[in-house]
Amino acid sequence: MNHGLEYNRQLLLLGAKRNAVLELSEVQRYGTDSYGDPDYVTIYGLRPADWFAKGVRLLGRTAVECTRDELANAVGKEIAAIAASGAEAAHVVLDPFAGSGNTLYWILRHLPGARATGFELDPKVFELTRANLSILGLPVTILNADYASELSNVAPATDELLVTFIAPPWGEALSAKSGLDLRRTTPAVTEIVDLLTKQYRHNRLVCAVQVHERLDHAGVREITQRFDWSALSIFDLNPPGERHGLLLGTIGWVPRLGAAAANHA
């Protein structure tokens, strides 16, 4: 079918639709034009027609940037498995780059009862996400803030495990030649991990970093040397060459896992 204008990543993330609130037909066109699937932007456990009917709205950029259900579910599952291997009774979750809040939504589905906070710098993304999460009744605090400026608002007790999900914009960090360089995201994952480690030096931490299957290995080493334990998973949810994954690391503790799960990065 010829729609005229193609609803692709360029138009929604960088072009005229970046800061536009999308109509349902536009969300579905993005899915169809870019991935052959009108339900591609399935988030909060709902297909586009269902979340739109509830009043949930997304900007063009967030439709592209969001961690969709299948991936966010896989992320939540892996995080919960590691968190369960710690001795702490309570979990605090922080997503410093919340975007749609969909990863927080899925982490909370796998860690029910956790206290959760997200930071979102962009005021328009923030307003929509706050409204969307409130429509869905999700008990999450979302702050319109730069991730580095409001960390003191998240103050876990020393016997609580802090789970952080780290998915900053990749910007120029994903190169066709050498893959995703975790030192070159905006901000750099190295810088984020250092700041979290300093701020939460009295806590045990889980750092869960969203990655691409093509990874710059020197960048990965720079991150993993900051961790006490780490493991890399690539999820089989996209075609080969486009798969995403999770680099999990712990700081201040080492999970007690069975031999099969101890797949160190």
Amino acid at 205: L
**117 near ligand SAM, rule: CB under 6 A:** no
259 vs 203: CA distance, rounded Å: 26
Nearest to 158 by CA among 115, 203, 92: 203
CB atoms within 10 A of CB 56: 20
107 vs 114: CA distance, rounded Å: 9
**69 near ligand SAM, rule: CB under 6 A:** no
- Looking at the Cβ atoms of 169 and 252, the one nearer to ligand SAM is 169
Three-state DSSP class for residue 59: strand
**237 near ligand SAM, rule: CB under 6 A:** no
The span of 48-56, 62-70, 196-204, 229-237 binding ligand SAM (CB under 6 A) equals 62-70
Q: Which member of 38, 76, 99, 219 binds ligand SAM (CB under 6 A)?
A: 99
Residue at token pair 């993330």: 13
The span of 2-10, 47-55, 115-123, 214-222 binding ligand SAM (CB under 6 A) equals 115-123
**64 near ligand SAM, rule: CB under 6 A:** no
Residue at token pair 């031999």: 259
**167 near ligand SAM, rule: CB under 6 A:** yes
Tell which positions 146-165 bind ligand SAM, by CB under 6 A. Answer: 146-147
- Looking at the Cβ atoms of 209 and 223, the one nearer to ligand SAM is 209
Output the residue with the shortest Cβ distance to ligand SAM: 99
19 vs 64: CA distance, rounded Å: 12
**103 near ligand SAM, rule: CB under 6 A:** yes
User: What are residue 230's DSSP bridge partners?
Assistant: 249
**81 near ligand SAM, rule: CB under 6 A:** no
**222 near ligand SAM, rule: CB under 6 A:** no
Q: What is the DSSP letter of 215?
A: B
**73 near ligand SAM, rule: CB under 6 A:** no
Cβ neighbours of residue 96 under 8 Å, at least 6 residues apart? 118, 119, 147, 151, 164, 166, 168, 192
Helix %, strand %, coil % of the chain (to 5): 35, 20, 45
- Looking at the Cβ atoms of 61 and 204, the one nearer to ligand SAM is 61
**7 near ligand SAM, rule: CB under 6 A:** no
89 vs 182: CA distance, rounded Å: 32
- Looking at the Cβ atoms of 7 and 97, the one nearer to ligand SAM is 97
- How far does CA 34 lie from the centroid of its chain? 21
- Looking at the Cβ atoms of 195 and 257, the one nearer to ligand SAM is 195
- Looking at the Cβ atoms of 99 and 245, the one nearer to ligand SAM is 99
- Looking at the Cβ atoms of 103 and 250, the one nearer to ligand SAM is 103
The two most distant CA atoms of the chain are separated, in Å, by: 58
Q: Which residues bind ligand SAM (CB under 6 A)?
A: 65-67, 72, 96-97, 99-100, 102-103, 119-122, 125, 146-147, 167-169, 187
